[in-house]
Amino acid sequence: MRLYSTNGKSPEVSFEEAVFKGLPSDNGLFMPKEIKPLPNHFFEHIEELSFQEIAFEVTQSIIGDDIPSDDLQKIINEVLSFDAPVVNVHDNIHTLELFHGPTLAFKDFGARFMSRIMGYFLQEKAQKINILVATSGDTGSAVAQGFLGVPNINVTILYPKGKVSEIQEMQLTTNGQNIKALEIEGTFDDCQRMVKSAFLDEELSKKLGLSSANSINISRLIPQSFYYFYAYAQLKKQGKPVVFCVPSGNFGNLCGGLIAQKMGLPVHKFIAATNANDIVPTYLKEGKYEPKPSVQTISNAMDVGAPSNFARMQNLYEESLEAIREDIIGKSFTDEQTKEAIKRVFNQYGYILDPHGAVGYLAVEEYLKENPSEDVNTVFLETAHPCKFGDVVEPIIGQKIDIPQRLQEIVDREKQSTLMDANFESLKSYLLNENAEATDA
């Protein structure tokens, strides 16, 4: 597999290089040079394949022979150790539940795949790396879980003290093994600044082999295409065209869908659903792309004012606004509408939406009103389990949400973290010290 930069000013790289570099040097984003359609017989029999079998075919088609079949099969089986069921909410509105992984959000797919891919390449070279991540909550926990126990990789997570939820803090600090948590006496921005300084520090890069687990890494994007195929497979026998609706922030999840479509998946339309951070819906409507500072909403994982995957979306459509508009419809909703949808869907249909999924539900509902003559199946992606947003959802539905067993277990574990002031020198001496111990042992 070869990858190019969307900015076109940095040389092509291999899959392995793209995974460890994260970003091309010209500040663009890596894209696969070739995305081939899968053969007809794959789609003719897709409903007979397991989730793992589908993902294996998709990955092999994208990455070619960069990873031998047996190893790739093992990676896929480890990554997809949980299901992604399509659940009917009512009538022709379905949801694709992407929260059955260890941290109860769809970012588990990307984080688990990236960790295994990195682990595979490092094992080939008998090399070790250190991953540094700053988190405001969810990305850090998915990364921690994804990399837990993966050989040759140590992960250090920086989170702002007192600024993540209790469950999130548990998810960050109770892992043990190769995952270390630093509780920073500062804000998320301080954490991010410290991580950035570390990447720029020559001594650290030389001694530690630092790498990021950035959300725009190509190895996080690829697995986000798997479940579109799998959802299609689950609905195929009904024989209706499928509309996918993706609650979006950085638009990585939607890009996974666009790649699936490029590989031949029959998709009638995509709906890009956002909260008040409506940069992409506005672009689709008015043709003007104007990033702005994000505003805070109750679907906070989508509070993004400059979507990092926008360049990939444009690139997939060769910068043609008309072509993008053919496939993607943009819609945005307020917090008030989101809360109303959570309440109504629970009261009428007994399904508990999380605030992100609720935005997706609203967009589907509006789409169906605007297109009454279409006989389609709609699928909105449920990107997180509602219990992760219990403080918002529970008062609206007037009852407690059960916490799944796999999350309940960590609540009983002991918190392990190192308190640190928001100072790069503290981080540097900590990292050098930790690493010295690791090599002496």
Ligand X SMILES: *Cc1c(COP(=O)(O)O)cnc(C)c1O
Q: Does 384 bind ligand X (CB under 6 A)?
A: yes
Residue 214 or residue 250: which is nearer to ligand X going by CB?
250
Dmax (CA) of the chain: 70
Q: Which residues inside 283-302 make contact with ligand X, applying CB under 6 A?
A: 301-302
Exactly one of 226, 251, 310, 346 binds ligand X (CB under 6 A); that residue is 251
**Residue 300 · residue 388 · CB < 8 Å:** no
Q: Does 253 bind ligand X (CB under 6 A)?
A: yes
Please enumerate in sequence order all residues whose Cβ is within 8 A of that of 438, keeping only pairs 6 or more positions apart, or say none: 154
Cα-based angle 241, 247, 253 (whole degrees, multiple of 5)? 80
DSSP run (H or E) holding 2: strand 2-5
Q: Which amino acid is at 200?
A: L
Residue 8 CB, nearest approach to ligand X (Å): 24
Q: Which residues inside 339-358 make contact with ligand X, applying CB under 6 A?
A: 356
Of these residues, 36, 74, 107, 331, which one is catalytic? 107
Q: Which stretch binds ligand X (CB under 6 A): 1-9, 118-126, 157-165, 243-251?
A: 243-251
Per-residue tokens: 385: 């389990």
Contacts with ligand X by CB under 6 A: the residue count is: 15
- What is the dihedral sign for C-alpha 95, 98, 104, 105? negative
415 is catalytic: no
Residue 179 or residue 301: which is nearer to ligand X going by CB?
301
- Residue 363 has, within 13 A of its CA and on its CB side, a CA count of 34
Q: Does 331 bind ligand X (CB under 6 A)?
A: no
Residue 154 or residue 300: which is nearer to ligand X going by CB?
300
Residue 47 CB, nearest approach to ligand X (Å): 27
To 10 degrees, the CA torsion angle through 269, 273, 278, 283? -10
To 10 degrees, the CA torsion angle through 414, 415, 418, 424? 150
Residue 140 or residue 247: which is nearer to ligand X going by CB?
247
Exactly one of 136, 217, 225, 248 binds ligand X (CB under 6 A); that residue is 248
Cα 309 to chain centroid, rounded: 11
Exactly one of 247, 257, 281, 386 binds ligand X (CB under 6 A); that residue is 247
Phi, psi of 59 (to 5 degrees): -65, -45
Q: Does 328 bind ligand X (CB under 6 A)?
A: no
Q: Which residues inside 146-205 make contact with ligand X, applying CB under 6 A?
A: none
Q: Which stretch binds ligand X (CB under 6 A): 71-79, 245-253, 258-266, 420-428?
A: 245-253
Q: How is residue 350 annotated by DSSP?
A: -
**Residue 404 · residue 387 · CB < 8 Å:** yes
Q: Which runs of consecutive H residues, i.e. helices, occur in 13-165?
A: 15-21, 40-44, 51-63, 69-79, 107-125, 138-147
Q: Which stretch binds ligand X (CB under 6 A): 121-129, 206-214, 244-252, 390-398?
A: 244-252
Q: Which stretch binds ligand X (CB under 6 A): 164-172, 251-259, 343-351, 390-398?
A: 251-259
Q: Which stretch binds ligand X (CB under 6 A): 186-194, 241-249, 290-298, 417-425?
A: 241-249
Q: Point out which residues bind ligand X (CB under 6 A).
A: 105, 107, 138, 247-253, 301-302, 356, 383-384
For the annotated catalytic residues, the residue numbers are 107
